[in-house]
Structure 1
Amino acid sequence: MNLFNIIKNKQQYWLVDQIRKDDIPKEAYLEQFIQILEEWDHLGIGYLSLLMDESFESLLLQKKFCKVSSIVEYTRKLADLPQMDDEIVWHSLSEGLLDDREYGELYDLCRLGSANKNINQSIDQVMISLKNELGPEWRQHCYYFTKADALIGISIPHIEMGTEDEGRLFYFGVVPHLRGQGLGIKIHNISLVLLKNFLANFYVGSTDVNNSYMIKIFEKNGCVLRDRKGIYKIVKEKSKRA
C-alpha cells in the first residue's frame, strides 16, 4: 500500500506527500518513509520536499530536514455546490486562445505576493511539473479566467495521483491588483465545479497556516479543516553528488 504520493523530476527533486489514513499505524508510515529517503539518497536527487504529520518532526530534524512552514488541509464534498458567477468566463489552455508561454507568464503573475512560504520553482520548472504530473492532456486542466475581457486568475483542477475521485487544484491564484475584491472566492467555486466535471467526488485543498486569504476562501466555499502537516526539505550534499 502506498502511503505517500511522490512526484519525481528526474535528478532535480522529489515532492513527497503523506497520505493520511486513520487505520495505518505510525510505524508503517515510518518504515515506508525511510525506504523513500534511502532511495532518494542513493539516486543522488537534488532535493526532497516533504509534507508530513508534525508528530514526525523530531525524527525529520534528526535526518537533517529543515522545516519550511506548516500547511492546513481543507476538504469538501462536491455533490451540492453554490451557483457560479455568470460574469466570469473561463477557458482551458487546450482551446488555443493562449499559448503555453502566455499561460506561464499569467501563472507567474498570480504567484506574486503569495503568503505561502514554500520556495517557488522557476516558471519553467512549474510547466515541466505540470506535464509530468497531469500527463499528455495537461492543457485540458489549465484554466484561466476573465471578467469584462480582462485576465483575472488561473486554476488547475485535476484528480489526485493514485486516486479515482479526489479533486485537487495544482494551483489557484488571482492577479495581484485584483485581490481583495471577492474574485478568489468566485474563481475557487468555479474550480470546484470544474473538478466535479472531471468526476471528482470530493475536494482537498491546502495552504500555508499563515495564508488567511486562502483559508477564508476555503471556509466561504464550504470547506472544512481536515488536517495539518509540516513542510520539510532536505538538499543533497554536493560532496555526495560529485
Structure 2
Amino acid sequence: MNLFNTIKMDREYWLVDQVKVEGVLELEYRDAFKSLLVDWQENEIGYLSLLMDATHEEWLLEQGFYKVSTIVEYTRTLDGNLTEEPEITKEALVDSRMADSDFAKLYERCRSGSANKNKLFTIEQVMESLENELGPEWRASCYMFRKSGEPVGLSIPIIEQGTVDEGRLFYFGVVPEYRGKGYGAVFHRISLNLLRKIGAATYVGSTDEANQHMIRIFEQNGCRLRDRKGIYRIDR
C-alpha cells in the first residue's frame, strides 16, 4: 500500500506527501515513513520537504524536522463547465510564440509577493522541474491568460500522479497588477474547465493557511475544505 507520494530530484531534494487512506493507523504511517527517511539519509539528499497530518507533529520534531507552515486542501467535483469571461483568452505555451525564458519571467511575476510561506525553489529550478515532473510535453500543460493581448496570469492543469482522474494545478497565479480585482477567481474557473477537458472528475487545490485570497477563490468557485496538513522540512 502506498502511504506516501514522493518526488525525487537527483541529490537535491525529496518532496513527500502523505496519502490519507481510511483505516490506516498512525503507527503504520510512522513505520512507513521511518523506512523512507532511512533511504533519504542513506542517499545523502540535500533536504526532504514533507506534507503530513499535524497529529504526527511532535514525533516529526523529535526526528529532526522543523515546521514551515500549514496548508489547507479544498476540493470539488468537476461536473460541468463553469462560466468564463470573454475578455480573457487562454493559450497553451506549446501553441504560443512565447519563449520559455519569457514564460519563466511571467511565472516569476505571478509568484512574487505570494502569501505562501513554503518557498523552496528558484525560478530556474521551477523550470527544470516542469520537464522532470510533467515530461517532455510539459509545454502543452502550461496555459497563459491574456487580457487585451497582455499576459496577466498562468495555470498548469494536470492529472495527479498515481491517479486516473484527480485534477490538480501544478501552479496557478496572477501578475501583481491584476490582483485584488476578481481576476484570480476568473482564471481559476477557466483552469477548472481545462482540468475537466483533460479528463479530471474532481479537483483538489491547496494553499498556505495564510493565503486568505486563494482560500476565497476556492470558496467562490464551489470548493469545500477537505484537509489540513503541516509542512515539515529536514536538511542533511
TM-score between the two structures when normalised by the length of structure 1: 0.95
Q: Tell me if 1:62 matches 2:62.
A: yes
Query: For residues 68 and 128 of structure 1, what CA distance do their matches in structure 2 show?
Result: 24
TM alignment of 1:4-83, pairs within 5 A: 4-83=4-83
TM alignment of 1:151-170, pairs within 5 A: 151-170=151-170
Q: Tell me if 1:129 matches 2:129.
A: yes
Secondary structure of 1:86's aligned partner: coil
Query: For residues 109 and 77 of structure 1, what CA distance do their matches in structure 2 show?
Result: 30
TM alignment of 1:167-206, pairs within 5 A: 167-206=167-206
> What is the letter of the counterpart of residue 38 of structure 1?
V
> What is the letter of the counterpart of residue 131 of structure 1?
E
- For the Cα contact (< 8 Å) 2:68–2:117, is it kept in 1? yes
Query: For residues 111 and 202 of structure 1, what CA distance do their matches in structure 2 show?
Result: 25
Shift of 1:119: 2.0
> What is the letter of the counterpart of residue 32 of structure 2?
Q
Matched with 1:240 is none
Shift of 1:27: 2.1
Secondary structure of 1:50's aligned partner: strand
Structure 2 gap segments, 5+ residues each = none
Query: For residues 88 and 24 of structure 1, what CA distance do their matches in structure 2 show?
Result: 45
CA root-mean-square deviation: 0.9
Structure 1 gap segments, 5+ residues each = 237-242
Identical aligned residues as a percent:
54
Shift of 1:133: 1.1
> What is the letter of the counterpart of residue 36 of structure 1?
L
Secondary structure of 2:15's aligned partner: strand
Which deviates more from structure 2 when the two are superposed, residues 24-33 or residues 71-80? 24-33
Shift of 1:88: 0.7
TM alignment of 1:103-142, pairs within 5 A: 103-142=103-142
How big is each residue's C-alpha offset from its partner over 1:158-208, in whole Å with a ceiling of 9 and x where there is no partner? 011111111000110000011001000000000001011110110000000
Which deviates more from structure 2 when the two are superposed, residues 135-144 or residues 25-34? 25-34
Secondary structure of 1:207's aligned partner: strand
Query: For residues 43 and 219 of structure 2, what CA distance do their matches in structure 1 show?
Result: 41
How big is each residue's C-alpha offset from its partner over 1:61-93, in whole Å with a ceiling of 9 and x where there is no partner? 001101000000000100134211121101111
Query: For residues 67 and 191 of structure 1, what CA distance do their matches in structure 2 show?
Result: 31
Q: Aligned residues, how many? A: 236
How big is each residue's C-alpha offset from its partner over 1:184-241, in whole Å with a ceiling of 9 and x where there is no partner? 00000000010111101100000001100000000000000000000001000xxxxx
Secondary structure of 1:79's aligned partner: coil
How big is each residue's C-alpha offset from its partner over 1:93-131, in whole Å with a ceiling of 9 and x where there is no partner? 111321111111100010111000002410110011111
Secondary structure of 1:215's aligned partner: helix
Query: For residues 161 and 86 of structure 2, what CA distance do their matches in structure 1 show?
Result: 31
Which deviates more from structure 2 when the two are superposed, residues 114-123 or residues 76-85? 76-85
- For the Cα contact (< 8 Å) 2:82–2:193, is it kept in 1? no
TM-score between the two structures when normalised by the length of structure 2: 0.98
